Amino acid sequence: MKNIIGIIIAILVLGGLIWFARPNNANTAITASEQNPPVEQQGSLIALETNYDFGSISMAAGEVKYPFKIKNSSREPITINKMYTSCMCTTATLMIGGRQWGPMGMPGHSGIPAINEILAPGREATVDVVFDPAAHGPAGVGKIARAIIIENSAGQPLELNFSALVTP
């Protein structure tokens, strides 16, 4: 009888651990109406759009590109410290005025130099993102989600996200 009670308790404990360790489903699709308004994130560095869906793209067609717009919505200068991507298949280039930094890639796969560029109050910048659907070879087919992270002096990093359905 003690063994049966012990087994039941062990199953309940294991089930509870699995329940709490399950993946978060926060990566669900964002509707177009949710993408359009400016999104205030982590302080005063905002993105006019934080999620972009390339839709269905072909490996054979090559790289796809998208420009994200960011803005300093505060009354104080913000320093953009670093920018990097979540995967080696993605690069990002920061452009402020006529100057650019990058392309920046994934930490550990390419050097991530400090940018340390000041974005004045009210000024905008562009983050040009390039995704290579062929970077992972045949195993890279299917739904993907990637991120570009911008570390800045306004608080938490600003995260720009994109998704696509990669076909051969």
Categorize the per-residue pLDDT at 16 as very low, low, confident or very high, splitting at 50, 70 and 90: low
Query: For residue 100, what are the domain limits?
Result: 27-167
Asked if residue 108 has pLDDT above 70, the reply is: yes
Q: What is the pLDDT of residues 112-166, one digit of tens each?
A: 899 999 999 999 999 999 999 999 988 889 999 999 999 999 888 999 999 999 9
- The answer as to whether 115 is a domain residue is yes
**Overall domain count for the chain:** 1
- The answer as to whether 21 is a domain residue is no
Highest mean pLDDT among 11-25, 27-41, 96-110, 121-135: 121-135
Give the DSSP letter string of 46-101. Answer: EES-SEEEEEEEETTT--EEEEEEEEE-SSS-EEEEEEEESSTTEEEEEEETTEEE
- The answer as to whether 51 is a domain residue is yes
Q: Which amino acid is at 89?
A: C
Categorize the per-residue pLDDT at 23 as very low, low, confident or very high, splitting at 50, 70 and 90: low
pLDDT at position 37, please? Answer: 45
Task: Pick 54 or 8 by higher pLDDT.
Answer: 54
- The answer as to whether 157 is a domain residue is yes
CATH number of the domain to which 126 belongs: 2.60.40.10
Give 165's strand partners.
56, 143
Q: In angstroms, rounded to a whole number, what is the distance separating the alpha carbons of residues 143 and 92? A: 20
- The answer as to whether 57 is a domain residue is yes
pLDDT at position 33, please? Answer: 37
Asked if residue 25 has pLDDT above 50, the reply is: no
- The answer as to whether 16 is a domain residue is no
Closest C-alpha among 61, 79, 47 to residue 164: 61
Q: What is the pLDDT of residues 34-91, one digit of tens each?
A: 444 444 444 589 999 999 999 999 999 999 999 999 999 999 999 999 999 999 999 9
pLDDT at position 17, please? Answer: 57
pLDDT at position 109, please? Answer: 79
